[in-house]
Amino acid sequence: MKYEPRKFNIPELKGISQKQVEVHLKLYEGYVKFTNTLRETLAELRKDSEKNAYALGEVMRRLPFEFNGMRMHEYYFEQFEGGAKPLNQNSTVAQVLKEKYGDWNGFINHFKSVGLMRGIGWTILAYDNAAKTPHIYWVNDHELGQLAGLPILLAMDVWEHSFMVDYVPADKVKYVDAFLSNINWEIVEKRFSEIK
């Protein structure tokens, strides 16, 4: 089984150019390609796992980076499909976020502050169904910092590749604002309803 790059129906975005989206989609396709390459390499190396033990270990360590790079970008691009739509403030997601962060602005300000930390990675909103609480957290690279078992509701790519066509690093806040202004919150609501 090979992974295929997903196709996304992304409309014109406010503050994120079509060129930026095209460049970013090509990078996503690279993650899909290298996920497949690594899986094929593992299959080949396993034919003589004793002889290839070291190489197997190295490829196994690299696979989560490529695989999560593929999946995280799928969350990211899917959030733009259908165009920007506000979160229904009466929805369960909105109520859960207000309960934890005080109000909508408290949530947005916390999400943005995590996204504006120094470094490359992802800002994630996830939901802990066992504790019935949302979490906003930082993921280094794609695989370091994931909270085990928590489904992702919202994923913001804050690697420079996600905004460098449109903004310099000092203007990252403009990208974060543009990202949030383009979210189709119905997709976030759908993700939440699927885990409840």
Model confidence over 120-137: pLDDT tens digits? 999 999 999 999 999 999
Over residues 167-172, mean pLDDT: 94
> What's residue 77's pLDDT?
98
Average confidence score pLDDT of the chain: 96
Predicted structure pTM score: 0.94
Residue boundaries of the structural domains of the chain:
18-78, 92-195
Model confidence over 77-108: pLDDT tens digits? 999 999 999 999 999 999 999 999 999 999 99
Over residues 56-65, mean pLDDT: 94
Three-class DSSP category at 71: helix
Taking the C-alpha atoms of residue 42 and residue 60, their distance in angstroms, rounded to an integer, is 8
Query: Does residue 196 have a pLDDT over 80?
Result: no
C-alpha distances in Å from residue 20, one per residue of 25, 40, 128, 155, 164: 9, 31, 33, 17, 8
- pLDDT above 90 as % of the chain: 93
| Lookup: tokens for 154 | 């919202």
- How many other β-carbons are positioned within 10 Å of the β-carbon of residue 105? 10
> What's residue 145's pLDDT?
83
> What's residue 142's pLDDT?
82
Domain formed by 92-195, architecture: 3-Layer(bab) Sandwich (3.55)
Q: Which amino acid is at 140?
A: N
